[in-house]
């Protein structure tokens, strides 16, 4: 498969993932606004911070390293060995579920049963749901490796929609059930997700013509189960070693990704109610970041992993592939920078209004607007880091991954200490400032790697971080105009003034996007090209 074909599939995967994330986040956005009107903020805090952290930590530690290692292999791999390796995620998930569940029940502060009933049931259910989801890991990796995009879209969309519908119905009819509602919905979600993959492959493998057409490495559903043969090793030891390297890295990355939740959970800096408010603001602030940046990072990591060869720098690889990778990286950096700057500039002037519309005075008063404004700056760093790290992790050799792990260890330790100190000093906004500090260090490390990687070649993908002076001037002018508009038109002046403030922002946004369209022509051509490739791939399938 050529680099251009892989690029087209990655662009298609990114666009599909973008639509999927839009659906997920809109559902979550509406669901949170609905739940806040029926349940206490303490229950919201327990579910969205404490229990979700248990589930995400278990799943992440059990599978993230396996996914990265197994998706990096070539098409000629021994898939039986790969499936055997992937099934190790299940016992690993059982271990993490039991170990973390014990910590959640025995070592952490248990909420008041009168305020948050059925806490123990919630811990058991969320831990069990993580193990259930890991049962579908071999199916997921095989689907990703063969670009079964529609399967991912249908499976994840269906499971999220059904879970959200179940939560909404139970909250409306029996809000007194409390954590029982979310426990049942979480188990239902993971069961539906896994069954979608199982049923799809069962149907696909029942047709020899489809097996040949899709070029699948298996012929029956039982081939996905672990198997032992005397003629070869149980697993591919190169993949296993790479998995171990990624596991050490993923453990540290999880601390950085969910660091504020760990600090809130283990150090009791905020009460459960304040944790609920912080989580709602955090989800609102990260809405656009997760809609756009996460599917791009996941899809183009797959692209870079397929196009680039590990252990080789740019001068020792196919120059056509290196050129395509450099052009893609430059355009992705430019896209991330433009999107992040737009969110930062307009977020400062419209945070309070957004919170007031979404959650009323409970969110728009107090620390809510400061939290959201700070998060807008964090989104800019998050956007750049997502692109730089997806390239870095795809191009690094095992030895470089190991060296990076040492840096991540120091970074994780400093992040936890800094989060604790800043939160004690300036409240919940300290979490965001600690994230910004650590994200800046991670970006610097990735930029240094990319610079060294392309140093001996004529390509300079880091030029994507440079914007035209005209566009930078428009951003500065827009920030000033919208800031003045907020002072005089928002948010205590009533809805006529608010609508005028929104109109000012819409006009400024139009001018900014128009300027970007005419000054960043290289990026516009890249987006047009990839959109056309994605549509062509859809027609062919």
CA atoms 386, 390, 396, 398: torsion sign: positive
Last residue of a domain, one of 198, 222, 251: 251
Do 331 and 415 have their domain in common? yes
Note whether 207 and 232 are same-domain residues: yes
Residues listed for the chain: 541
Could you say which of 424, 459, 494 is where a domain stops?
459
In this prediction, residues 121-134 reach a mean pLDDT of: 97
Show the tokens assigned to 301. 């990591």
For 487, the 3-state DSSP assignment is helix
Specify whether 80 is located in the same domain as 191: yes
C-beta neighbour count of 113 within 10 angstroms: 11
Please report the pLDDT score of residue 258 as a whole number: 79
The predicted structure's pLDDT at residue 9: 58
My answer on whether 122 and 60 are in the same domain is yes
> Within this chain, do residues 385 and 337 fall inside the same structural domain, yes or no?
yes
CA nearest neighbour of 332 among 462, 512, 446: 462
Q: pTM higher than 0.75 for the full model?
A: no
Site of tokens 């809000």: 175
Q: Quick check: is 15 in a domain? A: no
> Could you report the per-residue pLDDT of 288-333, keeping only the tens digit for each?
666 677 777 777 887 888 888 876 777 777 888 888 889 999 999 9
- Report the C-alpha gap between 283 and 298 in whole angstroms: 20
- Asked whether residue 525 is assigned to any structural domain, the reply reads no
Is residue 206 one of the residues assigned to a domain? Answer: yes
Does the pLDDT at position 75 exceed 90?
no
- pLDDT for residue 541: 44
User: Looking at the domain assignment, is residue 86 inside a domain?
Assistant: yes
pLDDT at 102 over 60: yes
What residue numbers bound the domain in which 225 lies? Answer: 39-251
Q: Which two tokens stand for residue 293?
A: 């940046």
Asked whether residue 511 is domain-assigned, the answer is: no
pLDDT at position 293, please? Answer: 77
Q: For residue 121, what are its two tokens?
A: 């049931």
Question: Does 291 lie in the same domain as 246?
Answer: no
Instruction: Indicate if 273 and 379 belong to the same structural domain.
Output: yes
pLDDT of 401 strictly over 70: yes
Q: What is the mean pLDDT of the chain?
A: 84
Domain annotation covers residue 484: no
Same-domain pairing of 283 and 425:
yes
> Binning pLDDT at 50, 70 and 90, where does residue 270 land?
confident
Share of the chain above pLDDT 90, in %: 33
Q: What are phi and psi of 143, to 5 degrees?
A: -65, -40
Q: Which segment of 261-265, 340-344, 470-474 scores lowest on mean pLDDT?
A: 261-265
Q: Are residues 277 and 377 in the same domain?
A: yes
Which of 111-120, 129-138, 388-397 is most confident?
A: 129-138
Q: Is residue 110 situated within a structural domain? A: yes
Q: Omega of the bond prior to 258 within 30 degrees of 0, cis?
A: no
Give the pLDDT score at 25.
Answer: 63
With a cut of 60, say whether residue 24 has pLDDT above it.
Answer: yes
Domain boundary among 251, 279, 308: 251
CA distance 503 to 18: 27
When pLDDT is averaged across residues 258-266 and rounded to a whole number, the result is: 83
Q: Are residues 212 and 74 in the same domain?
A: yes
218 found inside a domain: yes
- The pLDDT score that the predictor gives to residue 137 is 93
Domain total of the chain: 2
CA distances from 374 to 279, 356, 371 (A): 14, 17, 5
pLDDT for position 337? 94
Place of tokens 């498969």: 1
Q: Is the same domain home to 97 and 242? A: yes
Q: How far apart are CA 184 and CA 179, in angstroms?
A: 9
Do 120 and 235 share a domain, yes or no?
Answer: yes
Asked whether residue 127 carries a pLDDT value surpassing 90, the answer given is yes
């Amino acid at each position: 498969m050529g680099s251009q074909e892989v690029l087209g599939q990655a662009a298609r995967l990114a666009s599909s993932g973008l639509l999927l994330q839009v659906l997920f986040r809109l559902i979550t956005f509406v669901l949170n606004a609905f739940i806040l009107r029926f349940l206490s903020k303490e229950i919201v805090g327990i579910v969205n911070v404490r229990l979700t952290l248990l589930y995400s930590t278990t799943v992440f530690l059990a599978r993230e390293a396996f996914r990265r290692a197994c998706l990096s292999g070539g098409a000629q791999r021994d898939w039986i060995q790969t499936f055997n390796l992937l099934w190790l995620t299940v016992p690993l998930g059982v271990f993490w579920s039991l170990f973390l569940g014990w910590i959640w029940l025995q070592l952490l502060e248990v909420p008041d049963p009168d305020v948050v009933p059925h806490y123990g049931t919630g811990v058991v259910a969320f831990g069990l749901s993580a193990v259930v989801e890991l049962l579908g890991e071999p199916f997921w990796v095989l689907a990703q490796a063969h670009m079964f995009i529609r399967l991912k879209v249908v499976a994840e969309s269906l499971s999220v929609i059904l879970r959200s519908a179940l939560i909404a119905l139970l909250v409306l009819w029996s809000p007194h059930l409390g954590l029982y509602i979310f426990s049942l919905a979480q188990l239902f979600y993971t069961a539906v997700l896994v069954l979608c993959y199982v049923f799809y492959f069962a149907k696909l493998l029942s047709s020899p013509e489809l097996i040949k057409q899709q070029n699948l490495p298996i012929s029956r559903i039982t081939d996905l189960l672990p198997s032992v043969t005397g003629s070869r090793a149980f697993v591919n030891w190169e993949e296993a070693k790479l998995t171990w390297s990624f596991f050490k890295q993923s453990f540290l990355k999880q601390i950085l990704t969910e660091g504020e939740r760990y600090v809130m959970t283990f150090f009791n800096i905020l009460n459960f109610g304040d944790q609920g408010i912080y989580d709602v603001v955090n989800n609102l602030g990260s809405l656009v970041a997760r809609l756009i940046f996460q599917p791009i990072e996941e899809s183009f990591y797959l692209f870079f992993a397929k196009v680039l060869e590990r252990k080789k720098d740019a001068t020792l690889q196919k120059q056509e592939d290196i050129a395509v990778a450099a052009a893609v990286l430059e355009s992705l950096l430019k896209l991330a920078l433009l999107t992040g700057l737009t969110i930062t500039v307009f977020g400062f002037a419209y945070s309070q209004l957004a919170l007031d519309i979404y959650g009323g005075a409970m969110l728009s008063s107090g620390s809510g607007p400061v939290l959201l404004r700070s998060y807008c700056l964090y989104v800019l760093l998050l956007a750049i880091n997502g692109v730089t790290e997806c390239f870095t992790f795809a191009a690094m050799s095992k030895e470089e991954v190991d060296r990076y792990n040492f840096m991540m260890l120091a970074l994780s330790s400093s992040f936890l200490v800094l989060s604790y100190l800043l939160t004690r000093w300036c409240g919940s906004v300290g979490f965001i400032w600690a994230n910004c500090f650590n994200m800046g260090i991670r970006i610097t490390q990735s930029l240094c790697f990319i610079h060294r990687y392309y140093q001996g070649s004529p390509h300079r993908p880091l030029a994507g971080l440079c914007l035209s002076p005209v566009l930078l001037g428009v951003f500065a002018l827009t920030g000033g105009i919208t800031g003045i508009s907020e002072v005089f038109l928002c948010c205590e002046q009533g809805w006529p003034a608010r609508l005028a403030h929104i109109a000012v922002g819409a006009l400024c946004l139009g001018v900014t996007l128009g300027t970007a369209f005419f000054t960043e022509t290289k990026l516009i051509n890249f987006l047009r090209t990839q959109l056309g490739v994605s549509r062509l791939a859809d027609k062919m399938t």
